Structure 1
Amino acid sequence: MSGVIPNQQITAMIDAGQIHATAPVIPEQIQPASLDLRLGQVAYRVRASFLAGHGASVAARLEEFEMHRVDLRDGAVLEKGCVYVVPLMESLALPDDISAVANAKSSTGRLDLLTRTITDGGREFDRVAPGYTGPLYAEICPRSFSVLVRPGMRLNQIRFGQGDAVLDDTALRALHAESPLVDGVAVIDDGLGFSVDLKLPGTSLVGYRAKPHTGVIDLDNIGYYEPAEYWEEVHSSSGQIILDPGAFYILVSREAVTIPPGYAAEMAPYLAMVGEFRVHYAGFFDPGFGHETAGGSGSRGVLEVRCHEAPFVLEHGQVVGRLIYERMAVPPTQLYGAGIASNYQGQGLKLSKHFKAT
């Protein structure tokens, strides 16, 4: 059966040796539709981002691009603006009919911590070919904040699938009619469109902008940091803001979305032509996100926005991204938010879990 592989089958893949790890996989790594990946013991500072390319290994390319090595065992700082490659604890021996897609976890994206997965022979970031056998690596580039990391930290995650699981627009409209996916009109065009909310009720606060010169963030510190030390509040009374080139913003979607239990979703960019900005898309949306069966009543999508060459006016209700829905191969035995540590169920405008609640 085609579809995204759920948690119980991920466990079976571990037992079968299709997913191997240098340290035993812990239960907290296994999400309803994905597996968290863990940093290994060393980071390689490299001159530039790279892909291995056909027939080449990442290890061989590291010999070409490595500048120096950083021992992570006692904790080490990955500095803002630098590029690192970290061997992950997990490796794969996939069957010929199973491929994989990786993505940064939500908290990683909200720190503007560019994290992508690369493989031996890989020609694309975050894509693992069917039948791949070999190691996995994380390429990490802190863009707004320097971060303190240690072995075992989970910055990215991987989702496994068989066949084509993506819902086309006709199937997506049928699913929305059966189980509403948003709390308003569904804009369905190559996925479910979502827009930016710049008129939040009862407040002029519409987002946050990363400060350019801050301290280090220890990724083990949860609910620890004062937001004002790292973020400037963004206010609007007009329903519009001007994005500054090079700046990083946390905003929120106008729509509250739900992911029914038999489905998963991935955030994707809308169109490059809509403006001089990019909505970063970190993380997967697991089955049960925002869904009533998992204690939710719709959850907003947090938008990680970076402006490019020119200042750009972003207006309330502007479509900035889309959700691509996929069928699960079989329903997962665990849903997002139902009895597991799910930091963002029922969320609105929200910084990463490392910051004190405002």
Structure 2
Amino acid sequence: MKLQDHIELLGLGHPLPLRLLHDTGIREALEAGRIHIDRELLPDQIQPATLDVRIGKVRVYDTEAMRLTALVENARLRVTLADLDREPTDEFATVYPDEKDLPIILPPYSYTEITPHETIIWNPEDYFVTTDLRSSRGRLILQLASDFFLPGQQHLAVWNWNPNPIILYGQSKFAQFFFHPNRDDLPNNGYVVTNDPEAKDLARTVFEDGVELLGPYLLFRLGDHLLRFKRDLGNIDTNKKYLDDQLYERKETTKPVHLGVQEPVIAQLHPYVKLPPDIGIKILGIAPFSQQSGFIRPNILMAGLEARCANAGWVDPGYEGYVTAHPFRFQNPVTLQRGDVLALGLFYKYSTSVGRAYGSPVLRSHYQGSTGTGTRS
């Protein structure tokens, strides 16, 4: 299939909210009372374009018990668990209270519900809120079940696709909230770039070695290596610092690399990125798949599922280095090689520079100058 067919098939169009606050805009919205938080924020919780949220009460579910019960009860439980605004249940769950530094163990391939430590209130007529994991958590191959957060929603639904248990800690930073103004009369800092000529102009600023574009979309290709998670490591402790060779097996991509089903990897993406303080990039995953002979077109649902799992998330203004994606195959194995297209990107352009760009000392940025590394915290 051609890349154009991927985009048409997946219905990407321009899928992102058109507007986005940066850190100064978030602070102004807090001061004006348009966004309300019930707790005092830490100095580094407001990042260049997001608000970091911390871990509160956690329910780690016994997914095998859930599966068996769902089969017996005709999937009643499974449907209930998919309802994000329901009252959470402790059935089949190990419950961890909202307690600072409390160790929380996420078994391999487990489902977890994390209630944010902060209660955040906003008027849905003012803002639409999307979510993503912090980079260090995404690099552990944790995945949010949804990329939006609605008013009144009580928890973030998380899957651990890592073959090893992961230890998180109570009230540590975990996910990011993005605030997208819904109304024209609200202060707004940035917009998604959907104009082809503007995207080309910005690309010349950001990519010193050049980048391919398809309309306004940036094409990110597999770089020099993949990092494949080792198995049977025991607990991966997020309070510890690890070298890449402690957690991963490095695979050079000059030769084809087989990526099996449910095999977690971190992929270095090319080209090299150097963002000024008024431009961010949203990465959209489009993990490649092969068209089978005799099929008129691929299964749309499966294409969408496979595509979501290469999502690398958000690249902050001020970031410099290689970005990463996390291709993860639910059902179909794939062979990858250097130069394969793994993800698309779209620019967000701000009218003013962010207050604190990525790499500012107070933000404790872990990945400035990254060569495509694994988790650092």
Partner of 1:126: 147
Q: Which runs of 5+ in 2 are unaligned?
A: 1-17, 67-77, 183-189, 292-302
CA apart distance, 1:211 = 2.0
State the superposition RMSD in angstroms: 2.7
Q: Distance in 2 between matches of 1:127 and 1:81?
A: 22
TM-score scaled by length of structure 2: 0.75
1:314 partnered with 2:336: yes
Report deviation, 1:344: 1.0
**Deviation sequence 1:299-355 (CA, Å, 0-9, x none):** 11112122343442212111110112123354311111133321111111211104x
State the AA in 1 paired with 2:318.
Answer: G
Match of 1:264 among 270, 280, 283: 280
Given that 2:311 and 2:327 are in contact with CA atoms closer than 8 Å, whether structure 1 keeps it comes out as: no
Counterpart residue number, 1:347:
370
Look up the equivalent residue of 1:213 and give its one-letter code. D
What is the DSSP-based 3-state SS (H/G/I as helix, E as strand, rest coil) of the residue aligned with 1:245? coil
**5 Å matches for 1:115-264?**
115-116=144-145, 125-128=146-149, 133-144=151-162, 145-163=164-182, 165-168=191-194, 169-177=196-204, 179-181=205-207, 183-198=209-224, 206-221=225-240, 223=241, 225=242, 227-236=244-253, 238-264=254-280
Residue 275 of structure 2: SS of its match in structure 1?
coil
Secondary structure of 1:175's aligned partner: helix
1:92 and 1:135 in contact (8 A); partners too: no
Greater share of strand residues, 1 or 2? 1
Task: Tell me how far apart the structure 2 counterparts of residues 28 and 324 of structure 1 sit (CA, whole Å).
Answer: 26
Distance change >3 Å, CA 310–CA 10, structure 1 → 2: closer
Deviation string 1:105-153 (CA, Å, 9 cap, x unpaired) is: 111111011234xxxxxxxx2224xxx5434522122111312222212
Work out the number of aligned pairs and report it.
Answer: 317
Quote the Cα distance in structure 2 between the aligned partners of 1:189 and 1:271.
19
1:104 partnered with 2:133: yes
- Gaps spanning 5+ residues in structure 1: where? 117-124, 199-205, 291-298
Q: 1:351, 1:77 → 2: CA distance?
A: 20
1:267-278 matches, cutoff 5 A? 267-270=283-286, 273=289, 278=307
Aligned to 1:313, what secondary structure does the other structure show? strand
State the one-letter code of the partner of 2:128: S
Alpha-carbon contact 1:187-1:194 (below 8 Å) kept: no
Match of 1:281 in 2: 311
Distance in 1 (alpha carbons) for counterparts of 2:288 and 2:257: 19
Aligned partner letter, 1:306 = F
Using the alignment, how far apart are the partners of 1:185 and 1:285 within structure 2?
16
Question: Does the Cα contact within 8 Å between 2:46 and 2:52 map onto a contact in 1?
Answer: yes
Q: Deviations over 1:185-206 (max 9, x none)?
A: 43234511110113xxxxxxx2
Please say if residues 103 and 282 of structure 1, whose CA atoms lie closer than 8 Å, have aligned partners that are also in contact.
no
Q: Does residue 1:13 correspond to 2:29, yes or no?
A: yes
Is contact 2:114–2:156 with CA below 8 Å preserved after alignment? Answer: yes
Comparing 161-170 with 139-148, which one deviates more in the overlay? Answer: 161-170
Distance across 2 between alignment mates of 1:246 and 1:271:
14
SS at match of 1:33: coil
Distance 1:93 1:180 in 2: 34
Looking at structure 2, the residues matched to 273 and 81 of structure 1 have their Cα atoms a distance apart, in angstroms, of: 23
Following superposition, the deviation at residue 155 of structure 1 comes to: 1.8
| Higher percent of residues as helix | 2
3-state secondary structure, aligned to 2:44: helix
1:249/1:102 CA distance change after superposition, 3 Å: same
* SS at 1:214 equivalent: coil
Asked if the contact 2:287/2:310 (under 8 Å) is kept, the reply is no
- Secondary structure of 1:77 counterpart: strand
Tell me the TM-score normalized by structure 1: 0.79
Give the Cα separation in 2 of the matches to 1:173 and 1:109: 29
Q: Secondary structure in 2 aligned to 1:12?
A: helix
CA contact (8 A) 2:284 2:313 kept: no
Does structure 2 retain, via aligned residues, the 8 Å contact 1:22–1:89?
A: no
